[in-house]
Amino acid sequence: MLLIRCPYCEAERPELEFTYAGEAHIARPAEPSKLTDEQWRDYLFIRSNPRGIHFERWRHQHGCARFFNAVRDTVTDKFVMTYKAGLPRPSLSELENARS
Amino acid sequence: MTSYRISGRGRIDRSKPVSFTFNGASYSGFQGDTLASALLANGVHLVGRSFKYHRPRGILSAGSEEPNALVGTHRGAGRFEPNTRATVLEIFDGLAASSQNHWPSLKWDIGAVNDALYMLFSAGFYYKTFMWPKSFWNKVYEPFIRSAAGLGVSPSAPDPDTYASRFAHFDVLVVGAGPAGLAAALEAGRSGAKVILCDEQAELGGSLLSETDASIDGRPGWEWLEAATNELAALGNVTVLLRTTAIGYYHQNLLGLCQRLTDHLANPPEGAPRERMWKVRARQVVLAQGAIEKPLVFAGNDRPGVMLAGAARSYLNRYGVKVGHRPVVVTSHDSAWLAAFDLAQAGAKVGAIVDTRPEIGRHLKERAAALGIEVLAGWTVTGTSGRLRVSSVRTNPVSRSGVVGRARVIACDALLMSGGWTPSLHLFSHTKGKLDWNEERQMFLPGEQTEACRCAGAGNGNFGLAAALEEGAKAGAAAAADAGFKTEARSYAVEGEIALAGVSHRELPTDRNTSRAKAFVDFQNDVTAKDIRLAVREGFKSIEHIKRYTTTGMATDQGKTSNINGLAIASDAVGKAAPSVGLTTFRPPYTPTSFGAFTGYNRGALFDVTRKTPIDAWAEENGAVFEPVSLWRRAWYFPRNGEDMRAAVARECNAVRESLGMFDASTLGKIEIVGPDAAEFLNRMYTNPWSKLAPGRCRYGVLLGEDGFIRDDGVIGRLTSDRFHVTTTTGGAARVLAMMEDYLQTEWPDLKVWLTSTTEQWAVIALNGPNARKLLEPLIEGIDLSEEAFPHMSVAEGRICGVPTRLFRMSFTGERGYEVNVPARYGRAVWEKIYEAGQQYGITPYGTETMHVLRAEKGYIIVGQDTDGTLTPDDAGLGWAIGKNKPDFVGKRSLSRPDMLKGNRKQLVGLLTADPNTVLEEGAQIVLDPNQSVPMRMVGHVTSSYWSATLGRSIALAVIEGGRARQGETVHIPMPGRMHAANIVGTVFYDPENKCLSALG
């Protein structure tokens, strides 16, 4: 069971309190009706599924109930960092800092 | 006392004799004995039959790695446990144990015929033998395999014991209380860190319990152990858990510790839990798991009486049991010589020490000579004899060029073997820590780690007491320091220890035909060296494939004694170094663990939450039959005077249609949506338009996923311009709220909207029937119930029976309907008042079954029953609920994807069976041509099906490809033994003009 740091509660809590919510930084298009079928398909279904660093959403369901973003290594299953929803994707140097 | 029990040796309590039975015969031992040591003290070596060949088997080891000595234990009704290792089972007065895997008896077992049919059961025999003919699989092979496979017999009665569980947090967790673990725990404990030390055995000490020669800091080892034990007990910051196995090592230093609490007691305290699962999160972990001795691989190495030399030493020094009067030792490692020396000193006549190494240390040879033990250096073992116990060993000299010379047979009653030691890396491996192969020492050692842990002692490849103490102390001090506690490791002076060296072997050299040799690698799964070589010849090159093909290492012991021998033989056969052949993955649990320990408190009533409404107790008192609906239990129907379900439901349906019914709808999901942007938020979430819905009015809303499929539905009432009362399906409430929160928090954080779950704050009483308004009028204050002021789909706040209410006018039955929401604490009181007031109308409480029938008669769908996550609003006949002029809502764009516009999509329709008395099965498949050949083309399935008392016939809803255009056509529903015909009709069976929604009684 992982320990996850909620960026709103600013505390590490057991995975039991959280739910996973899919890949992060996939914004809902502002005007879906203007998208082609292919563009809309990509938004709905196409995900990066990387080996290594993955940007993903979690929710502190049984805590503050907030959605937030996390960076997790899919090989080691270790969290590199977590950050609040709406913040931009962390840069490589920020990730390096978080790892060290 | 038997002739095998040695006075003056061992740690057993001779003042406390214990009597027990094995296979019905009575034996006695002492407190502190395991079943294995007590049986050996009685001269019993034969304890079971092997898995595949039913060969007689004895006790191989003295610890939890035991592959052979598995027994069934009986502790009274329901308390039967199979496959308990006799080597860890502590005896107590009244213990009844029995051997396994034989018929009719342990000494004469018919299954042993498999041993003679050896060729049939070679590697991969399942795949080869049972291939042909195909028709034999179901009737002949599978039943045979099922009855022959498996070790012990599963218990059949429910487990009467209770199991506990506990979360705990520590600075330092030390696994293993041998010398290394003790030294680590002492250092960490002295530093002030919060320490937990666990060991699977009944007392602290580990290998020290079997060691009688060495001294520590000038004191005999056992004296030092006693002092260490006392010091740990006196440290308030150290928790010591005995009989506690660290079964698994998970992410971020979470370990599962299974503590056995009562299995060793003759009379467990009433109500005491049998086991307790600790889930320990530790800042730092020290793994001091020790090492496991390797068997040697030679023909007949599995005969009862053949055991690991270290085990024989444990039985002698720890339990005071001589495993034989005339033992012979065969070894490639110095440690086995110590067993020979100790046994000789205890009076055994050691026949010989057969060592595969031509060169032996002088100190060993001198001591053997002093004890009068013959030494055969540079010899091999090529066979054993004896039917139910070893009676002799066949041994041959091996020349420097590898030629095996003439055999010599030596009589013996025990054969003690050692092929060296394997560091126990199971827990380290659970963390995906890297294992590095040491070619020279032929062993894996801990490599790069992934967690905050340290390995120490034999478990880190550093054998011997001095090394264990030194490395343990350092690891304990370093762990404490990393956890924030200052300390410095102290050193220990160890004397009397012999330096231990050895070499590793594959199969021992032999002068016999190896294709006929039964040299066992995996004792529990009956895998021989020949099987592994055969697998390689047949093309298996990876250890993972060889393992699965031969089943080596796949038994309940996870190959603790066999993995490295198997790997050495496989890598030799493949012709590659061991690391490129690979090591199989260790997985939790470390040793077999009861399901009860994992389950803990989560069984029976505590298995899952049962949610009950405020009216639930009334329903129970009034004879309701309940059904589970998600986590809720709901009244299903209210039988009267011995009615069956069909009669009760028919009566309840008629009451609603003709006069008045009352229904507990409290489980309905409820979300209060508040804020200046509440209507805009609903516009974006639901398919329907909400801006123009006037306060005091309600609308049926449909919620889609972004993929365009129906997720939920419910009636939404607008109380004021900025406040909506949203209802959801009973099972969907939490999901819908989570979905709304997701959009609100992450897509539209600019909207000023607040979402609150109010499901449990309101009790809801649904009143349906032509007399509903007449009943309510005298009970309601502050709401005008007239048709003009409060038409169908209205909501208003007022009072009922003197308490506040949010009153809805809506209907899920097709009759005039009201839903009385009152604060939950008034639910039962208001229900009872209404029930009393309704007697004049014959008010009838009804359950979920009647609710289902009435709504189906009206063609109202239930999301999750009539829809399955692949239906769009149009598929479900709800196209009217889509706001045509809305630019966007969740899922809108998907509704115009090409697949959503195809003409043959499955659509919801009604079905009327040709035989009106036939009630179809929900989920039944539908075909167009009943005469087509199997497999038939299925065009849809039945989603809802009931007996309709109102219509006097059966009705059904179904989804059928292009169904709406097929109205009037006949379809067919194949069921076992019968083909039912049905006519496709509209989905509304009752009152299509909706006259009843406003009818008055």
Instruction: Transcribe B243-301 into DSSP letters.
Output: SEEEEEEEGGGEEEEEEE-STT-SSPPTT--SEEEEEEEEEEEEE---EEEPPPB-BTT
- Alpha-carbon distance B757 to A60, whole Å? 17
- As for the ipTM of the complex, it is 0.97
- Nearest-CB residue to B897 (from A27, A37, A77): A37
- Alpha-carbon distance A5 to B917, whole Å? 61
Give the per-residue pLDDT at B65.
97
As to burial, measured by CB atoms within 10 angstroms (0-12 exposed, 13-18 middle, 19+ buried), residue B607 is exposed
Residue B133 pLDDT exceeds 70: no
Min Cα–Cα distance to chain A from B896, Å:
8
Does the beta carbon of A64 lie under 8 angstroms from any beta carbon of chain B?
A: no
Contacts of A44 in chain B (CB under 8 A): 706-707, 894
Pick from B85, B90, B75, B73: which is nearest to B34 by CA? B90
Q: Name B281's Cβ contacts closer than 8 Å, sequence gap at least 6.
A: A3, B167, B168, B169, B170, B252, B253, B254
Give the per-residue pLDDT at A100.
75
Residue B419 is classified by DSSP as: -
At B94-109, the pLDDT tens digits run: 999 998 877 667 777 7
Size of interface A-B (CB pairs under 8 A): 55
Q: Which residue has the tokens 């054998």?
A: B463
Give the per-residue pLDDT at B76.
83
Are B682 and B751 in contact by the 8 Å Cβ rule? The answer is no
Pick from B851, B811, B837, B742: which is nearest to B997 by CA? B811
At B899-951, the pLDDT tens digits run: 999 989 999 999 999 999 999 999 999 999 999 999 999 999 999 999 999 99
Give the per-residue pLDDT at B834.
98
Q: Break chain B down into helix, strand, coil percent, rounded to 5.
A: 25, 30, 45
At B517-565, the pLDDT tens digits run: 899 999 999 999 999 999 999 999 888 899 999 999 988 899 999 999 9
Does the beta carbon of B894 lie under 8 angstroms from any beta carbon of chain A?
A: yes
- Inter-chain residue contact B281 with A77, CB threshold 8 Å: no
Give the per-residue pLDDT at B440.
85
Residue B651 pLDDT exceeds 70: yes
Pick from B255, B499, B168: which is nearest to B363 by CA? B499
- Inter-chain residue contact B897 with A76, CB threshold 8 Å: no
- Nearest-CB residue to B888 (from A32, A59, A77): A32
One-letter identity of residue B131: M
As to burial, measured by CB atoms within 10 angstroms (0-12 exposed, 13-18 middle, 19+ buried), residue B7 is exposed
Joined tokens for residue B174: 């030390």
Number of separate domains in chain A = 1
With a pLDDT cut of 70, the percent of chain B lying above it is: 96
Contacts of B892 in chain A (CB under 8 A): 32-33
Kindly state the helix (H) or strand (E) to which residue B840 belongs, with its residue range. Answer: none
- Inter-chain residue contact A85 with B745, CB threshold 8 Å: yes
With a pLDDT cut of 90, the percent of chain B lying above it is: 86
**CATH code, domain carrying A35:** 3.30.2270.10
One-letter identity of residue A43: Y
- Inter-chain residue contact A32 with B250, CB threshold 8 Å: no
- Nearest-CB residue to B894 (from A44, A61, A66): A44
- Nearest-CB residue to B251 (from A1, A35, A37): A1
- Nearest-CB residue to A67 (from B745, B892, B894): B745
Give the per-residue pLDDT at B146.
52
Pick from B459, B417, B174: which is nearest to B291 by CA? B459
Q: Name B96's Cβ contacts closer than 8 Å, sequence gap at least 6.
A: B20, B21, B73, B74, B75
Contacts of B744 in chain A (CB under 8 A): none
Are B157 and B151 in contact by the 8 Å Cβ rule? The answer is no
Strands (E), B802-861: 803-809, 817-823, 844-845
* CA trace torsion B648, B652, B655, B658 (10° rounding): -110
Mean pLDDT along residues B746-761: 97
Mean pLDDT along residues B611-631: 97
At B829-884, the pLDDT tens digits run: 999 999 999 999 999 999 999 999 999 999 999 999 999 999 999 999 999 999 98
Strands (E), B135-189: 163-175
Does the beta carbon of A27 lie under 8 angstroms from any beta carbon of chain B?
A: yes
As to burial, measured by CB atoms within 10 angstroms (0-12 exposed, 13-18 middle, 19+ buried), residue B281 is middle
Give the per-residue pLDDT at B130.
55
At B552-604, the pLDDT tens digits run: 998 889 999 999 999 999 999 999 988 888 877 889 999 999 999 999 999 99
Contacts of A35 in chain B (CB under 8 A): 893
Report residue B383: phi and psi, to 5°: 170, 165
Does the beta carbon of B738 lie under 8 angstroms from any beta carbon of chain A?
A: yes
Which of A62, A67, A76, A80 best probes binding to B when mutated, by most B CB atoms within 10 angstroms? A67
Interface of B with A in 755-774 (CB under 8 A): none
Residue B893 pLDDT exceeds 70: yes
Residue B131 pLDDT exceeds 60: no
Domain that holds residue A26: 3-99
Q: Is B395 helix (H, G, I), strand (E, B) or coil?
A: strand
Contacts of A31 in chain B (CB under 8 A): 887-888
- Inter-chain residue contact A3 with B250, CB threshold 8 Å: no
Min Cα–Cα distance to chain A from B487, Å:
26
Chain Cα centroid distance, residue B916:
48
Kindly state the helix (H) or strand (E) to which residue B961 belongs, with its residue range. Answer: strand B953-961
Are B625 and B847 in contact by the 8 Å Cβ rule? The answer is yes
The model's pTM is 0.90
Q: What's the pLDDT band for B129 if we cut at 50, 70, 90?
A: low
- Inter-chain residue contact A40 with B893, CB threshold 8 Å: yes
- Inter-chain residue contact A41 with B897, CB threshold 8 Å: yes
One-letter identity of residue B603: R
Contacts of A76 in chain B (CB under 8 A): 432, 450
Q: How far is CA B278 from CA B194, B232, B246, B807, in A?
A: 16, 20, 9, 51
- Inter-chain residue contact B741 with A65, CB threshold 8 Å: yes
Contacts of A59 in chain B (CB under 8 A): 738, 741-742
User: Which has more pLDDT, B113 or B96?
Assistant: B96
Which of B118-122, B393-397, B402-406, B972-976 has the least mean pLDDT? B118-122
Report residue B198: phi and psi, to 5°: -125, 150
Residue A61 pLDDT exceeds 80: yes
- Nearest-CB residue to B749 (from A65, A76, A86): A86
Give the per-residue pLDDT at B125.
63
Pick from B815, B802, B809, B725: which is nearest to B769 by CA? B815
